[in-house]
Structure 1
Amino acid sequence: MIPFNRPWSGARAVEFLNEVCGSTHLSGDGRFTKLCHEWLENILGVRKALLTTSGSGALDMAAILAGLEAGDEVIMPSFTFSSSANAIVLRGATPVFVDIRADTLNIDERLIEAAITPRTRAIMVVHYAGVACAMDSIMAIAARHGLTVIEDAAQAIMASYRGRPLGSIGQMAALSFHETKNIISGEGGAILINDPEIIERAEIIREKGTNRTAFARGEISKYTWVDLGSSYLPSEIISAFLWSQLEVAQELTQRRLLIWSRYHEHFEAMEQAGVLRRPTIPEDVVSNGHIYYLLLPDEAKRDGLIRALRAEGISAVFHYIPLHSAPAGLRFGRASGSMQQTDDLSRRLVRLPLWLGLDDGVDVVADAVKRALSPAA
């Protein structure tokens, strides 16, 4: 059996976890949390990084920091996970869905301006599969209309756009360290802040609406409830596991890219023959190899491939049900214009197994795909 995902634990994870368990500091913002914050700030080039209990929590914080209120609108793609839209809806605002590009499956920047109304407050971009959106164009649109840009970079750690790490471009960004991501802590995430004016409020929101972080730094004599907030702070146990991954993040990313590239080479001839389409990586983008997907000619062929692989003990899966057509999407959001690309591509996409240690298993998966899509099959 080749599973779709298998979480990787480094050699030092147990060492760091034992250190925490033997200490007197199990709650958050201890030694390992600080190490993670410094690494994210230095490597990604962001003003402030704050670990959260999940990528969803980071998006919730971003929505509060963006000042979203009832009646506001946020432009975003429909081809993403529910957490992206939930963060908006929980503030009483409306997700406005825009179609995606056929090449990268990211939000089509050419359609954003037409979706802007007097109620628009922000643009949320999602860097699908660790491939950057067209951020220069999107930031220019946001600047013209006075909008906040939130990067949902849940899948995008160690990826970049024109030399800039993803998560460092918009006013805010969210990372995920869920066990299905490239760098993991089981559950966990981080909010990245690039606007210095909202750093202090981000610390307050993360600490249940109190100014406890300032108190811990000795800046005030006591702390109290001063703003909205919740318990977004992860334990030191989660941070210790995460640190065991961050300190070798470059190596993990390169290993993952080797697997991605091996798949890509396998399917070059099939793409040239028109049997399938491989992922597209623009020249100004550096991917992190988060997802390797194939696009089949139609939904029936996609579903047939998934069944054929399952019969050989290989787990391959499709991805999102577009949010604009989901029950909650119909209730809480609205689409701006045609969603043709989103509807079409989501029905034809299949994700192949990709995890550290798969290695020669890539050849097994690729050969099974070739058999399933051969004329004889």
Structure 2
Amino acid sequence: MIFDFAVIGGGIAGASVAAELAPHASVVVLEAEDTPGYHSTGRSATFWHETLGGVLVQQLTTASGPFLRAGGYLSPRLTLNVAETASEDRLAAMAARFAGTPVRLTQIGREALLKWLPDAAPSLIGALIEEDSADLDAAALHAARLGEFRKSGGTVETDFRVDAIRRGDGLWHVAAGDRAIAARVIVNAAGAWADTVAGLAGVAPLGITPHRRTIVQVRVDQDLPADLPFTIDVAGTFYFRAEGGARVWVSPHDEAAVEAHDVAPEELDVAIAVDRLETMTGWHVLAVERKWAGLRSFAPDRIPVYGFDPLVEGFFWCAGQGGTGIQTSPAAAELCAALLLGQTPPFDAQPYSPARFSG
């Protein structure tokens, strides 16, 4: 069988685009692991907040909100974008950056901050409250999108680790060992391996680089309120989220550039995460219960890449989402599907086009 589209990568980006395409075309998802979503999608500290990634990402996040709310994937929780004395000016800069957008931000001082985070360290002098943020059930979203895809007749090939791609007779021939498929268009949704897939296809890589992000689940010395806001440092040195009872997820907000692989946490990053949590809250960490790491992949300008390669026919990029791939996936998939099907996209596609790197 010759497919219209071969989507390489079964994480949230690939699954979402495939779900949008399947009612209109024949589509196969090629997943290297035995389970789709094993790497970035399955390891994200999933949260939906519109300020993450800047204004160009924000419009995709905001546009994804109705889909995610309607599906029951969002559970409201405020975000506190907190600042220490040395980074206080970042609060005003952040508020200015999102002025004129639908993002609802309220700047507060130390006294108001203590109402939301009573144990805030003395060095935390204020925050921006992000009103409309929410916990995001990524596992349910990913499963639902794969379910939509299969219900529309889509095919998922797991353990399909692509090792050869060639162009011939107007088709792409994609192989994994002795298994092979043919498709008219390749959708490169391979996450941290996006440039590797491009290279196999003879397409110039874009410089999409994976970065390690560490998450630690700890148990602290007090029970925390269920509505404690998601708290993130505007200077980018930590974030944490209460998980119920005395459990907290915390990250040192690390972004170490690495080769694409099955990444694991570094003990130093775990120690930094614990130290930042204790320093910023005064809570004492009684135990590290879990620790893991995932990959966030960025294009050189840190803006996602959606669109046909300007030089190679039938090769489409859906990559470089950084840490925003899950929260933007409904709108990004709609954008990509429109471009792939020759329809009018719901947004101006130019800022995301891979052509921006060809000049």
TM-score exceeds 0.5? no
| Higher strand residue share | 2
TM-score, scaled relative to structure 1: 0.22
TM-score, scaled relative to structure 2: 0.23
| Higher helix residue share | 1
